[in-house]
Structure formats: C-alpha cells, structure tokens
Chains A and B, each alone.
Chain A
Amino acid sequence: MLQPLIALAEDDPALRALLATALETVGYRVVTVATGELLVATVRTLLAAGDPLRLIITDVRMPTLGGLEAARILRETGHATPLLFMTAYGDAWTRSQAADLGALLLDKPLSLTVLRHAVTLALAI
C-alpha cells in the first residue's frame, strides 16, 4: 500500500528539513515547500495529477502569504484536504481562524511526538 502523502510548508529551512525527516522516519511521504504561494501551487498540482494528498501541514506565519491565507485559498477553490497548522504565537484570533477551517493547531516549540500524534489523528478523521 502507498504511504500517505503529506504537504509541508515552513519558511525556516532547518525546521523544514527536520520535520520532513521526522515524518518520513515514521513512514509518511512528505512534499516540502518554503512559502504559502508554493504550497497553494503544489497542492493544486498534486491533486490535479490525482495524487491522494492526505494532509497539509503549514506554518501560520510565513513572509508574503501565511499558512491561514494559503489554506483559505485552497478551501475556496474546493480543496478539502485536512489541515494542520503550526504557530509560535497562537493568539485567540489565530485559534478561531484555524477552528473555522476545521483544522488542528500545534504550538511551537514543537515536540516531534506531539506532531506525530497529531498527524495520526488528522489522518484518522
């Protein structure tokens, strides 16, 4: 069986690499991007190609296009892929936005264990 495919958007290269490794180690396939714009483009391409994208993990604060905005663009164009947000500053507004999108929100500093649990959970829904 094909391993679940996850798209990961994070502007910090070191964190991006670490998270990709951590997820791949436990058996997921991960596509990484550095910006919100690239996330939107990549998700569209993947879905158009018929790839069964199972989950999108994205940082909230990224330069130019943040994770929330990117997710909203995807939702508005009919993509219903489950979402998982990461943020270092999850204020009430950010939380309510994430909840509106029906997404989980993880606080930074991230624990890999927590991230893996959250991914399992998000994929199970």
Chain B
Amino acid sequence: MKLVARYTFILAAALAIALSGLAVYRVDQDRAHFEADMRADHLVVGRILQAGVADLWVDVAGGKLDRAIAARQTIGLLHRANENAGMVHFEWAPDPAAREAQGIEGRDFVSRFPVRAGAAVVGTIIAREPLVAVDRMVHADIMVSVIGIGLIVVIGLVASGVLGRWLVGVPIRRLIEQARRIGRRDFSGAPPTPRADELGELAIEMHAMSEALSTALAVIAAETDARVRAVDQLRHADRLSTVGKLAAGIAHELGTPLSIVGGHAQMIAAREVTGDATLTSATAIDREVTRMGKIVRQLLDFARRKGPEGTTCDPADVTRRCLSLLAPMIDLARVRTALEVEATAPVMIDEDALQQVVTNLVVNAVQAMTTGGTLAVTISRSRSAPPDSTASPTPCVCIAIRDTGPGIPDEVRAHLFEPFFTTKAVGDGTGLGLAVVYGIVVDHRGWITVDTSAHGTTFSVYLQEAT
C-alpha cells in the first residue's frame, strides 16, 4: 500500500496545483471581463446621457435656458438614470474636465464624460460603479475554485486510493503472498484471473514459475521416493532370496530322497516288491537316508559356522591335514598336489571351521579337474584389505588353492556362493560347499577372491592374523 499511497499523494498534489493555476487564471479573466463589461456599459449609457445633457446645455448657450435651471434639469435627468442603472451611479460635476476618461479610482470604477455646448465644456457626467461587485464575484469565484479543487482532490484521493488498491495493491499483495507461499514450497495457488496489465503478466509468469517449480520438485521427490523404494526392495529381495533360496534348496534337496524312501517303503508295505527286490529297496532307502544325512550335516555346518570365540590355529597345519585326509580322493582323480608354505602365522579361526573351508575348496578344485591336473596350495602372509573396500590393510594370511580345471563361466560365477547352487549331477554336489566357505570366512572377518580363466581357477582365502 505504500506505493499506492505515494502515487495517490503525488497525483493529488499535481491536480491541486493545476487546478489552482486554472482558478487564478479564471479569476483574472473574470475580473478583466467584468471591467470590460463595465467600461462598455458606462460608455453606452454615458454617451446617451451625454447627448441628452448636451441638448439641455445647447439651449443655455443659445440663451434660451437659464444655467441654473439647466443644471437642475441635468441633475434630474441623471437622477432618473440612476433609478434604472443598477450599481452605476451618475452625478453631475459642473467643473469642466477636458477629456473623456475611464478607470479605477479607489474602490470604484469611474467614467467621465465631458458635456460640450458649442465649443465650451459645460460640465462632466461622472459614472461611478463600486468595485464591490467585482470583489464579491472574484471572492465567489475563488470560493468555488477552492471548494472545487478540494472536492476534486478528495474524490481523486479516494478514487485513486480505491482504484490503486484494486488495480495495484491487491494484485501486488497477492503476488507477495504467492512468492511467500513458493518460498514455503506451497504451490497450491490457483491460476491468476487474467488481467491485461503488467501485474497480470507478472502474476501469470509467477504462476507458471510456481507450477514449473512444483513439477520439478515433484519429479525430484518421486525420483528420491523411487530410489528409496528400489533400495528397500533390493534389500528385501536380497533377504528373501537368501532365506527363500535356502528354503527352496532344502525342499528340493530333501524332497527327492524323501520321495524315494517313502516310495520304497510304500511298495514294500503294499507287498508290491517281494523277495530280493525288497533288498534292493532297502539299499535304495539306506542310500537316500545317507544322502539326507549329508545334506543335514552340511546345513548344520552352514548354520553353526562360527566356532568358539578367540581360538586360533595355524593355516599351514590345517591345510596339511586336509590334504592328507583327502589324498585318496585326490589320487583317484589323478590330480597332483603341491603345497607351498611361503610364510604362516596363527589366524583368528578355530581349526574345525578352517578345515571345512579348505576341504570344500580342495574338493571343488579336484572335481573341476575331471581329466586330472595339478592342485597347488600356497600359504603366504601379507598386509591386505578386502577388494572394493576402504578399510586400511591389516596383516593377513592367505591360503590360495589353484586348480588347472576349465575355469568358471560368468553365469556360474554370479551364483557361486549361493546355497544349493550347483552345476554338478545329483549326488555329486549339493551346492552348499561354497556357501559354507563364504559364511565361515566372512564370519571370521576374512574374505575370498576368485581368479578364473580357461586354464584354471584360484580361490584365495584371506584371514586376519591373530594379534
């Protein structure tokens, strides 16, 4: 409103000055007119009287009339003229004035008309009209002007105030409110009513800006939301996939042997198998029970993978023992073994757990070399950190198990550590080996790296040295 008030005030002042100037000019004009009118009126009546009085005095000059009577008749004539002449007052001055003259004398407008008889001036008719009327008129004029100006200024002030409020104040207030709303990230403003002025344009621009901002923010919010949801989903999917896969794997692994055991038992019970066939069924049942026992044991390994706290063991010892335990199987697969202990140190893991890790990796390596090959196990010390981590390197012992098998294709590699993921035939693999290895190693704050090519694969297990 400050802006509108200032505008209105300036406008009113300008209006008042202009109107006052106009009023002064008009008063001057009116006065001039009035004087001109008086002058003309005096002249008209004065001339007539002049002629009439001159007639009287011609007779005096001719001696037909007495001077005193002429004077009395002149005064009477003027008297009668006075009765019809309004504000003008005529009088007779016997002293002879030379010239006709008109002008203001004191507070009157005075015209003098000399009356001649023959060559001599016999007297002067003086027409006297008080200027009071002019003054009164000018006064009235000024009053009218002042009141008019006052009225116009007041009306102007009110009108411009109201109009300003309506045309400028309200829209600006609305724009300010809208700007504040946008500042508060509230984009609820309704579209502006169209107006054909700059403020209207501004309002439309501002509304467009607000809408654009709102869409932009909505897009950002939606993206953030989507990202959060995606991450959530991933996390959930991850959890589901581990538990779900484990459940599916257990179901699948046990479903088949249970079907076999149940089927044979049913057939025996229904006497569908008899004699020697019963023995075959019993053998089949025994085999399946052994298989289920193995799965259950591995599941237990998987679940109970953390040994007692604080125990340590020497990786070289454990590896040596594993290799000697597995020697028959390794030999059968026509695989040569080479163990190299570059350096060793106690690591923070219990013997049973480490033995399981090494056994599973060695079995996999041997199974990968279907036509024989070389199994090289190397034990070394280094300062290392997990790949893709920002952790600072710590003293570690690394057990690297290298085979000369066909390597691991990418699609298998992606699922390597998933429970029950196997590419091996039924009975050869359960798909739990690497899942168990991974669980144990990670539980002991170690990590595993896999290097694979068409010429072989190396699984390296890193474990922290005991301090």
Q: Is the CB of B248 within 8 A of A91?
A: yes
Give Cα A12 to B261, complex, Å.
13
Give Cα A111 to B259, complex, Å.
7
Q: Is the CB of A108 within 8 A of B263?
A: no
Q: Is the CB of B252 within 8 A of A111?
A: no
Interface of B is mostly: helix
Tell me the A95-123 residues at the B interface (CB within 8 Å): 107-113
- Any chain A CB within 8 A of the CB of B267? yes
- Please name all residues of chain A whose beta carbon is closer than 8 Å to the beta carbon of B252 when the two chains form the complex: 61, 88-89, 108
Give Cα A107 to B248, complex, Å.
12
Residues 78-90 of chain A, each 1 if its beta carbon lies under 8 Å from chain B, else 0 = 0000000001110
Q: Is the CB of B256 within 8 A of A108?
A: yes
Known: A63-B423, A88-B251. A18 touches B256 (CB 8 A): no
Give Cα A108 to B253, complex, Å.
10
Give Cα A18 to B265, complex, Å.
11
* Nearest residue, chain B, Cβ from A115: B263
- Any chain B CB within 8 A of the CB of A21? yes
Give Cα A112 to B264, complex, Å.
9
Tell me the A23-80 residues at the B interface (CB within 8 Å): 25, 61, 63
Give the size category of B's interface with A.
20 to 34
Q: Is the CB of B262 within 8 A of A112?
A: yes
Give, as a whole number of angstroms, the nearest-CB distance from A93 to chain B. Answer: 11
- Please name all residues of chain A whose beta carbon is closer than 8 Å to the beta carbon of B253 when the two chains form the complex: 88
Known: A89-B248, A91-B248. A109 touches B255 (CB 8 A): yes
- Please name all residues of chain A whose beta carbon is closer than 8 Å to the beta carbon of B248 when the two chains form the complex: 89, 91
Residues 6-27 of chain A, each 1 if its beta carbon lies under 8 Å from chain B, else 0 = 0000011111011101100100
Q: Is the CB of B251 within 8 A of A89?
A: yes
Known: A112-B266, A112-B267. A15 touches B256 (CB 8 A): yes
- Any chain A CB within 8 A of the CB of B342? no
Q: Is the CB of B259 within 8 A of A109?
A: yes
Q: Is the CB of A11 within 8 A of B251?
A: no
Partner of B288, one of A11, A14, A21, A87: A14
* Nearest residue, chain A, Cβ from B423: A63
* Nearest residue, chain B, Cβ from A90: B251
* Nearest residue, chain A, Cβ from B253: A88
- Please name all residues of chain A whose beta carbon is closer than 8 Å to the beta carbon of B5 when the two chains form the complex: none
Residues 234-263 of chain B, each 1 if its beta carbon lies under 8 Å from chain A, else 0 = 000000000000011001111111111111
Known: A11-B426, A88-B251. A19 touches B256 (CB 8 A): no
Give Cα A82 to B457, complex, Å.
45
Interface of A is mostly: mixed
Give the size category of A's interface with B.
20 to 34
Give Cα A19 to B251, complex, Å.
19
* Nearest residue, chain A, Cβ from B424: A63
Known: A25-B272, A63-B423. A113 touches B258 (CB 8 A): no
- Any chain A CB within 8 A of the CB of B284? yes
- Please name all residues of chain B whose beta carbon is closer than 8 Å to the beta carbon of A110 when the two chains form the complex: 259, 262-263
Tell me the B63-111 residues at the A interface (CB within 8 Å): none
Q: Is the CB of A15 within 8 A of B259?
A: yes
- Any chain A CB within 8 A of the CB of B227? no
Partner of A18, one of B254, B255, B260: B260
- Please name all residues of chain A whose beta carbon is closer than 8 Å to the beta carbon of B254 when the two chains form the complex: 88, 109
Partner of A21, one of B247, B267, B423: B267
Tell me the B398-449 residues at the A interface (CB within 8 Å): 423, 425-426
Known: A88-B252, A108-B255. A15 touches B260 (CB 8 A): yes
Q: Is the CB of A14 within 8 A of B284?
A: yes
Give Cα A113 to B262, complex, Å.
10
- Any chain A CB within 8 A of the CB of B6? no
Q: Is the CB of B267 within 8 A of A13?
A: no
Give Cα A113 to B258, complex, Å.
15
- Please name all residues of chain B whose beta carbon is closer than 8 Å to the beta carbon of A88 when the two chains form the complex: 251-256
15 A-B pairs within 8 Å (CB atoms) are namely A11-B426, A13-B426, A14-B260, A14-B284, A15-B256, A18-B260, A18-B284, A25-B267, A87-B255, A88-B251, A89-B248, A89-B251, A109-B254, A110-B262, A112-B266
Q: State the B residues within 8 Å of A (CB).
A: 247-248, 251-264, 266-267, 272-273, 284, 287-288, 423, 425-426
